[in-house]
A and B are shown apart, each in its own frame.
Chain A
Amino acid sequence: MTDPLLEVRNLRKYFFERDSFLDRLLGDDPVAVKAVDGLNFEIERGETLGLVGESGCGKSTAGETVLRLQEATEGKVYFDGSNVYEMDTTELQEFRRRAAIVFQDPFSSLDPRMTIGETVRQPLDVHDWPPGDDHDRSKRERRTERVRDLLNRVGLSGDQFDRYPHEFSGGQRQRIGIARALALNPDFVVLDEPTSALDVSVQAQILNLLDDLQSEFGLTYLLVSHDLSVIRHICDRVAVMYLGEIVEVGPSRSLFSDPQHPYTKALLESVPRVDVGERERDVDTLSGEVPSPRNPPTGCRFRTRCPSVIPPEDVDIEQDEFRTVQTVRDRIRNRDVDLSGTKEFLETDETDDLADRIVDTMLDLEEAALSEPHRSRVREALSVALEDEWEEAEKSLAAYESVCEDVTPALQERQDHRAACHLLDQPAGVEDTVTDSGFTPRQGDD
C-alpha cells in the first residue's frame, strides 16, 4: 500500500477568549475553547473520509485547519509526506493548488459582484495558470477556455460565463463553487457541508456529481457533514467527532452496521428512517445537551450523556440510578444547585426538610427512582451543599467516581475499526497517557 495522501497527527485548535491586552493587564486568564482537541486520522489516495458530528463538535474547524486556512494550536498535518505547517511560501502555494475546499453556503461563498466566469477563473489568476510560456496563445485565452470546460463539466453551460451569482439557483451556485475548487486540478478537496443548504432533490444531483468527479479526476475527499445519511452514502471511511475528539473511526460499512461507541450508537439511532415502520421503532433518545467546549467533562467527554456510563465495581447500583447520582455529582461539582430559587418555589425555610424535598422534586423531574442506600447518600450530600459546604458534599459522594470521569479512553480496535470507550478493554497504562489517543506516532517524528 502506498502512503496516505493526508496524515493528521495530534491536531489541536483552541480559540482563546478573554485574551485581549486589557484582559491580560487585569490578570484575567484566557479561556481556551477546545474546538479540536487531539485528532489523529489519515486519508488514503482516492478515498472519501467523512467527519461527522453535531454542531460544535469541531468538524468544520478540523477541515479548515487541515487546509491551513486556520493555524493549528498544536499538531502536524502531512500532505503527501510534508508537514503543511512547516511549508515555505513556494511549498504552500503548491499545496494550495493541490488542496481545495467547497463551502456549505453557495449563497454567501460567491462574490456577488463577480461574474461566475471571473469567480471560477480567480484561482487560475492567483496561481498564474498555466505554468510556463505558450507563445501561441495568451494565458487569458487559455484560462477562459479552461473556465468554460469546467462550467460544462459541472453541469452548467460555458455560455453562462458572464452571468452573476444571483441569477442562479442554490444547486447551480454549488456547482459554481465546485468548478472553482477544481480549477487548478487539485488532488484533495475538503467538502464542508456541501449540500446542507440544498433541497433534497438538488442535493442528490450534487452528490452524484461529486461522485462522478471523484472517479474522473481521482480526487481524494474529506467530507464534513452533520448528515449521517449523506456520510453513509458517499464515504469509504468515517470518523465520528464529539466535543473536539474522534470517538470512533473506521470503514463506513463496519462503523454503521456495528457501531461500538455509545455516542455513535445513539447518533445512528436518532436518525429518523424513511420507512413506514418508523413510528414503531424504539428510539432511546440521548438526554441532555452537548457540554461547552470551554469546560469539557473530564475523562470521557461523552459521559454526561452516556447511557452506559460505568459504575465503580464495588458499588451495586442500577444503570439509570447511577446516572441520576452522576447528575447530582456534576451539579455539586459545578456548584449548580439553585438553593434560593428552590426554597422560594417550594415555599419552605427549613433546610432539613428542604434536602428531602429537593431530592423528591429532582427525582420526580428526572422520572427516576433511587433505591437505598443511594437515596440517603444523595440526600445527605445535598443537605451538606445547602450549608454551603460544597467540597464536603463532593467528597461525600466520592465513592461513586466512575472510570469514565477519571480516565480518557483510548481508541481501541474492535470489529474492524477503532472506538474510544471504557466498555472496550483499555490497554495497560492508559491512565498515564490520558491525552494520548492511542496512536503510534509516525515514524521519524520528533
Chain B
Amino acid sequence: MTEDILKISDLSTRFFTSEGQVNAVERISLNVGEGEVFGIVGESGSGKSVTALSIVDLVESPGQITSGSIEYRNAELADALEADYPDAVDGEFVDVLSVPESVRRSLRGPSFSMIFQDPESSFNPSVTVGEQIAEAVEVQRRARADPRSTRARTQGVEYSLSGYLTSALLPSKRFVTTESKERAIELLEMVGIPDPVKRAEEYPHQYSGGMLQRAMIAQALAGEPDVLIADEPTTALDVTIQAQVLDILSELQREVGMTILLITHDLGVVARMCDRVGVMYAGEIVEQGTLADIFEENVHPYTAGLLGSVPVLDDVGGRLRPIEGNVPSLLDSEMGGGCYFADRCPKAMEECLRKPRTFDGPGSDDHVSMCYLADHPYEEGEALSDEHFESTGGDDR
C-alpha cells in the first residue's frame, strides 16, 4: 500500500441548532493512501457530506468541528509551519485543524479541491466557463509562484489571500492571461468536452448538466490538488453520462496519481471506483476496509442490509431484503448510549445497548467494524426481545 496522505482521527462535527445539538459526524477515523480512491458510502443523514465539508473547512454555522484532527502530508508545508506552529506539525504531516483559518483556506485549490453534486453552485452564471477555469488556474499559479503563500507567516498568507480575493472580486478578464486561458482549454479537453475552444467562450447555462459537471471537474483540477473530494459527483446524471464522467475521473486519477475521496450513496459507483470504503451510519463509520472486505466479508448488519436492499441488474426478481425502519435522529438528546443501529438491527443483542468499540474484521488488515459481531458470533438466544424497541415501531419513521 502507498503512504498515507490524509489521516483523520476522532473527527466530530456538530450542529448547534435551536432544536438541540445534532451530532452529524461522530468521532470518525480514517486514513487515505496517496493515489488511492477512498469511498464514503451512506444514506441521507449519515454524515457523509458533512465529513467532506469538514475536510475542506466549509462547514457552515451553526455547524462546527468540535474535536479530532485532520492530518495532511505535505513536507514543504510542514517545513514552513514547523517554527510557528510546532504543535500542528508531526514529521511531514500537518494537522489542518490546528493552523489558523487563513492557512487552511490557502490549502483549498492546491491541496484539497471539492466537486459537488450540483455544478450550478460552483459557477458564476455571468462569466464564461473558460474564464472561470482560467481564474482557478491563475490562483494556483500565483500560489505556486510565491512560495511564501503556503507559509504561515501572516504576510505570506495575506498575500495569497488578497490575490485570491482580488481575482474573485474584480472582473476576471484582467487577471486571466493567455497562458491560463490555454490551460483552461486543455483542462476542458481533458475532461472530454467536445470543441473546448468554442465551449470555453460559453456561459454555464449553455452547458448541459453532464457537460457542466465535467467543467466543474476541470475547474477543480485547475489547482492541481493533492486530494480531490467528490461529493455525489454523478448522482444528478444519466447513466450513460455517469459512465463517461466516472471514466474521466479514473483516467485522471491513474494519470496524475491524484487521491480521490468519493462520497456517494451508490454502491455500484463505489464498486466501480474505490480501493477502500468506509460505510457511514448516523454520523459514524460503522465499517471500513477494502472493497472486498465490505462487499464480501462484511460483519456489520447495516453494511449487509445496505447490500441486501439494492436491486441488482442481474437478479431475476424475488424479494429485496430491506432494512426495516429509518435513519435515526441525530439529536444528541435522542441518540442513546448503545449501538445506533440496534433498533433496526435484525441481530441486536443485550450487549448492543452498550456502545461497541471498533473491532478488527475478518477481512484484510485494514478491515474494522463497530459491531460486537466482529468479535463474537451471533447467538439467537442473546437476541434482544422485540418489546425492547416497542417505542420505535417497526416502520420507517
Tell me the A residues contacting B by CB distance below 8 Å.
54-55, 155-156, 169, 171-172, 199-205, 207-208, 211, 226, 228-230, 232-234, 253, 256, 266-276, 278-279, 283, 285-290, 338, 341-342, 345, 365
Contacts and interface: CB of A to CB of B under 8 A. Distances in A.
B126 interface: no
Contact of A232 (B198, B240, B296, B313): B313
A127 B376 CA distance: 59
Contact of A230 (B241, B308, B311): B311
A273 B395 CA distance: 29
A274 B197 contact: no
B90 interface: no
B59 interface: no
B268 A272 contact: yes
A230 B326 CA distance: 20
Interface of B: 43-44, 185, 189, 194-198, 201, 208, 210-211, 238-244, 246-247, 265-273, 291-292, 295-296, 305-317, 319-324, 326-327, 395-397
Nearest to A229: B311
Contact of A233 (B185, B243, B265, B320): B320
A208 B319 contact: yes
B243 A204 contact: no
A204 B268 contact: no
Given A54-B238, A267-B239, A270-B242, A276 B269 contact: no
Contacts of A256: 313
Contact of B306 (A201, A266, A345): A201
Secondary structure call for the A interface: helix
Given A156-B395, A232-B313, A289-B241, A338 B195 contact: yes
A201 B273 contact: no
Contact of A279 (B198, B271, B296): B271
Q: Which 10 A-B pairs have the closest CB atoms?
A: A272-B268, A204-B322, A233-B311, A278-B271, A204-B309, A54-B238, A199-B43, A204-B320, A270-B243, A272-B272
Chain A CB count within 10 A is highest, among B43, B185, B243, B306, for B243
B266 A272 contact: yes
A199 B43 CA distance: 6
A139 to B, nearest CB: 30
- Residue among B196, B267, B272 with most chain A CB within 10 A: B272
Nearest to B311: A233
Contacts of A278: 268, 271-272
A172 B396 contact: yes
A257 B155 CA distance: 65
A230 B315 CA distance: 10
Contacts of B247: 283, 285
B43 A234 contact: no
